[in-house]
Structure 1
Amino acid sequence: MTGPIHDFEHRLTERARATELLLSSLLTDERQPDEISRPTSLLAAMRHGTLNGGKRLRPFLVQESAAMLGGPPEAAARIAAALECVHCYSLIHDDLPAMDDDDVRRGRPTVHKAFDEASAILAGDSLLTYAFDIIAAPETDLSHRQKNELVLALARASGLGGMAGGQALDLAAETSPPDEAGILTLQAMKTGALLRFACEVGAIIANATADDRARLRRFGEIIGLAFQLADDLLDVKADAETMGKATGKDAARGKGTLVALHGIEWTEARLAALANEAMEILAPYGEQAATLEATALFIADRKS
């Protein structure tokens, strides 16, 4: 079987495999300069929460956005790995009993189940910190200015005003369901911020123009919204075996979603509209944007 869809899926799989190998090489017991020790049990928990498959969509977006603009692939791969460390930290912490209280992630026991809650907290803390280590390290061959911009952008996307803040809003939504504007804010922070970062930083890595950065930032915002809409749709339509995690939890907890507000038909139409908007944003890049265009379609129509 050949064709655009097959080519895209093959590229996504190959990128995911390469990211997994890089993460595995970063998460070894070999100490880095100024590290005193890497505790075996903590390292095992970090590896369990990170080296567990998955599509590696965020690293893929980093690498493909940088590639579209001619950025150095080795540096892009390391920034992609740093972002995946942040993403995996967020999943480990979100799965904790005090948060979403999930027992399964990507078809395997969550870190607090495979180890214990303290190990899960420390594994998440360590992965978040390590992300900034990877960016700043001399092995990441970018200028100091580029590294500063990357650190700032990732901190803003992952912290109080981004992903972590979005998780706080998500927890609050269990007792006080937000209106539509509140849902959009929550989703833009919890899910959208890291996806926006994944696209926008391609321009930083490639040392591209401010216009390129703004265009990729907007593309990231659009696919971030599409990703969450598709996720909420899957929460209603898919089963746990397909997803590799529990489904139907938002409805059970009374959390508001756009699917619950507007229904399945509206959501599917909105996803199609977002995919079209993403294509329009990428139009100036012509054939160079083919992979990112395919990614937008994949996100809008994903099945797991």
Structure 2
Amino acid sequence: MDFQTTLKVKQQIIDEALDKYLPKEPSPQNNIFEAMRYSVFAGGKRLRPILMLAACEFAGGETERVLPFACAIEMIHTYSLIHDDLPAMDNDDYRRGKLTNHKVFGEGIAILAGDGLLNYAYELMLQSILQHPSQSQNATAAMYEIARASGVYGMIGGQVVDLDSEKKQIDSITLDFIHNYKTGALFIAAIRSGAILAGTEPETLKHLTSYAENIGLGFQITDDILDIIGDEKKLGKKVGSDQENQKATYPAFHGLNHSFERVNDLFQKGLAAIEHYGEKAQFFMDMAHYLVKREY
């Protein structure tokens, strides 16, 4: 299969698993189930869970074993988007071309939907660990990767510094911190946890980590660029919001030309980390093109 076909197949696998795992039974708290499912199924590309599946397969693991963890990381990512869109954060009305969660369900339910997705992600992973006790060591290590990348030493830490940096002059070290933690951390965790679940060797994990670090940062800088010169219809969200909110971005700090150069440099470094695996690494190489060479 070509890359686009493989991507669609993996997206379908993730979507079917998410539909299976996410609660939907009639109950007094049905409103929260609807709000959680609304944002999860609002058109996400499933990049992080797909990278986790690919890393697991790359290291010789089984798709079925990694699915609960892949769905969990997508739930965590979605919770972060729900909260990021709130008036107290980025105050966005649209996400992926649809009204944001708080515009549909109200701020209170949106906050709880994000909380619900975060908590349910850990329920899902712990349930899987309890069901497969013989594989609990690798599974617990994978869960730790996801937990740390999602928390104050990862995504949340990056979001805090991002908020603190609004309307301020910052240095390049702070800018890199924001991007590496707010966005890059979950990309790295997705790939590392997938490989860990498969019981990969340390050297392979090292190479995959290097790939993830470079591609994750390249992905975020590309997002910064698209917020300036991207097509709103293709992006499914308003462009120019970073500048409007005086966010710390690469183009604002370094200019567009340097930002393009930085993306290309990160792209090449990401490929260099895995190209010696040859055809085995083809999906990751194609994914790098897909992530950091998106249409401007």
Give the structure-1-normalised TM-score: 0.92
Please say if residues 79 and 115 of structure 2, whose CA atoms lie closer than 8 Å, have aligned partners that are also in contact: yes
Tell me: CA distance 1:101–1:15, structure 2 relative to 1, closer, same or farther (3 Å).
Answer: same
Matched, 1:14 2:9: yes
Give the Cα separation in 2 of the matches to 1:177 and 1:200: 34
Matched, 1:288 2:291: no
User: 1:29: how far off?
Assistant: 3.1
Tell me: CA distance 1:41–1:84, structure 2 relative to 1, closer, same or farther (3 Å).
Answer: same
Q: What residue in structure 2 maps to residue 111 of structure 1?
A: 101
Q: Structure 2 residue aligned with 1:268, among 232, 257, 260? A: 260
Q: Structure 1 residue aligned with 2:118, among 128, 131, 134? A: 128
Q: Which runs of 5+ in 2 are unaligned?
A: none
Q: Structure 2 residue aligned with 1:164, among 156, 180, 183? A: 156
Q: What residue in structure 2 maps to residue 34 of structure 1?
A: none
RMSD: 1.8
Say which SS state the counterpart of residue 279 (structure 2) adopts.
helix
Moved over 6 A (4+): none
Matched, 1:69 2:59: yes
Please say if residues 62 and 80 of structure 1, whose CA atoms lie closer than 8 Å, have aligned partners that are also in contact: yes
Q: Equivalences for 1:169-184 in 2 at 5 Å? A: 169-184=161-176
> Which shifted more, 137-146 or 230-239?
137-146
Read off the aligned partner of 1:252 and give its amino acid letter.
Answer: E
Matched, 1:228 2:220: yes
Matched, 1:57 2:47: yes
Give the Cα separation in 2 of the matches to 1:211 and 1:30: 45
Q: Equivalences for 1:181-196 in 2 at 5 Å? A: 181-196=173-188
User: 1:193: how far off?
Assistant: 0.3
Report the count of equivalent residues. 294
> Which shifted more, 241-250 or 226-235?
241-250
Read off the aligned partner of 2:6 and give its amino acid letter.
Answer: R
Q: Structure 2 residue aligned with 1:155, among 144, 147, 158? A: 147
Kindly, what percent of the aligned residue pairs are identical? Answer: 37
User: 1:30: how far off?
Assistant: 4.7
User: 1:38: how far off?
Assistant: 6.9
> Which shifted more, 79-88 or 244-253?
244-253
Q: What residue in structure 1 maps to residue 251 of structure 2?
A: 259
Give the structure-2-normalised TM-score: 0.94
Read off the aligned partner of 1:127 and give its amino acid letter.
Answer: L
> Which shifted more, 252-261 or 68-77?
252-261
Give the Cα separation in 1 of the matches to 2:242 and 2:127: 40
Give the Cα separation in 2 of the matches to 1:82 and 1:70: 21
Give the Cα separation in 2 of the matches to 1:92 and 1:234: 21
